[in-house]
Structure 1
Amino acid sequence: MENFDTDGRIAYRVTGDEDNVSTRVIRGIEEIVGEDEERRTWLYDSVDPDALDTIFSQKHSGGSREDGKVIFTAQGCEVVVHGDGEIHIYAPENHTPEE
């Protein structure tokens, strides 16, 4: 995960494509805000992980889905998933990055 600054907001770019979109979102958010060991299904409060994976899966023709994006909030973070597979996660406003 790569840290970058967007108009004064702490943001992270989730890299790598070996996992599906929902898994990368979960790992990225947990890296920012920490893991919730008591509740491992928190993503369902914001979005259906299976639907998110389906939206960004390959087309039936085998081509990729490069257009569009989905924006939602989870664990206080704003998540932007782009059609090309890039994921940006904006930390909660009160978040201070660990050194």
Structure 2
Amino acid sequence: MTEGQFTERAADLDRDGRNAYRVAGETDDPSTRIIRGVEEIVGRSAEKQTWLYDSVDPDALDAIFEEKHDGTTRTGGKVTFTARGCEIIVDADGEILIYGPVTDDEK
């Protein structure tokens, strides 16, 4: 991954005509990492800056993956949803995968 890049291509995880990307930035909230990753893959949305709200409540998503009240990390579980043509998978271990839009040659 190069400086300033938020996604890393994960070709071994490609599926259903979609390119897979891992999202970096373990110190950021999941919603921030998702926004940066999707915009890096498909580009910024000039007409709508709040596109993530169309798919999921970013505050609720972040809360799901916060530490527990006793300070321990959460284990198990994941959330999967689509936004801007991408399939997004957020794992409890902090990994975020984004499957880009279906490529033209797979339609």
TM-score when normalising by structure 1: 0.90
Equivalenced residue count is 96
Equivalent pairs: percent with the same residue?
59
Structure 2 letter corresponding to 1:69: K
Deviates more, 1:78-87 or 1:10-19: 10-19
Q: Which position in structure 1 is the counterpart of 2:29? A: 20
| Unaligned runs of at least 5 residues, structure 2 | 1-6
Contact 1:66 1:85 in 2 (8 A): no
Q: Deviations over 1:32-75 (max 9, x none)?
A: 00001221110011000000000001100101112100000000
Structure 2 letter corresponding to 1:90: Y
- Pairwise CA distance, 1:7: 4.4
User: Which protein has the bigger strand share?
Assistant: 1
Check 1:13–1:95 CA distance in 2 against 1; reply closer, same or farther (3 A cut): farther
| Unaligned runs of at least 5 residues, structure 1 | none
RMSD after superposition: 1.5
Stretches of 4+ aligned residues off by more than 3 angstroms: none
Contact 1:4 1:11 in 2 (8 A): yes
TM-score when normalising by structure 2: 0.84
Q: Equivalents in 2 of 1:29, 1:48: separation in Å?
A: 16
Q: Equivalents in 1 of 2:93, 2:104: separation in Å?
A: 27
Q: Equivalents in 1 of 2:31, 2:22: separation in Å?
A: 14
